[in-house]
A and B are shown apart, each in its own frame.
Chain A
């Protein structure tokens, strides 16, 4: 009973740490703030979720204890981490942080130019 709990929780937590490691490598390797935010938000959210699910399953199977705080933490991380990345990227774009040279298209720039033209007229 307890051994199966340890195996299941171990798989989830190991996958979560691997995904978090990939996220950290992405933060080092990627060229600009937008691609780094892409690496930092999605994969570390998934990594933290996987570790929390593993912990939840371990306590459910081995001790029969259903932790509502872990459920709340999973929902909360899933809800807020992408929004934090969105807000950081938005602040970066509005303070004119440049995109990397390899990016092909900036549709938001056209939109902002059109807006400022309309305001000037």
Chain B
């Protein structure tokens, strides 16, 4: 008898959208408010794990084809490259810069290279935590 999971599936679809939006908000707020790459990556992981719990692992793998070990490696690479970028421009390693730029539709926006470092942190956190949980949930991998 096939179990009828329609309530769990429907609410998971709605709730995962809210969780992903909130994790992007936490990531973007990290410069001036509580938040940042680490907590943004962890909440994104929570959304992905919720999808894995409500649906089966193969369905999510097919619809979200990400190699999480590669994602973790890519995050560390991005973080190291932002450090090297400071060296290339003749400053110290990991020197950060920022500027105020007029972006259409958003107005005057402060763009900082610290965001690039935070993107690397977020990718590393997502890749590490999801691959830990996937590898302890599956014995055949």
A interface residue numbers (CB < 8 A to B): 69, 72, 75-76, 79-80, 83, 86-87, 115-116, 119
**A contact patch SS:** helix
Total interface residues in chain B, CB < 8 Å = 9
Question: Is B136 in contact with chain A by the CB < 8 A criterion?
Answer: no
* A24, B20: Cα distance in complex, Å: 32
B14 CB contacts on chain A under 8 angstroms: 79
Given A79-B14, A83-B11, A87-B8: A72 touches B22 (CB 8 Å cut-off)? yes
Given A72-B22, A76-B18: A115 touches B11 (CB 8 Å cut-off)? no
**B contact patch SS:** helix
Interface flags for B6-35 (1: CB within 8 Å of A; 0: not) read 011001001100100010010000000000
Given A72-B22, A87-B8: A119 touches B15 (CB 8 Å cut-off)? no
Most chain B CB neighbours (cut-off 10 Å) among A75, A76, A83: A83
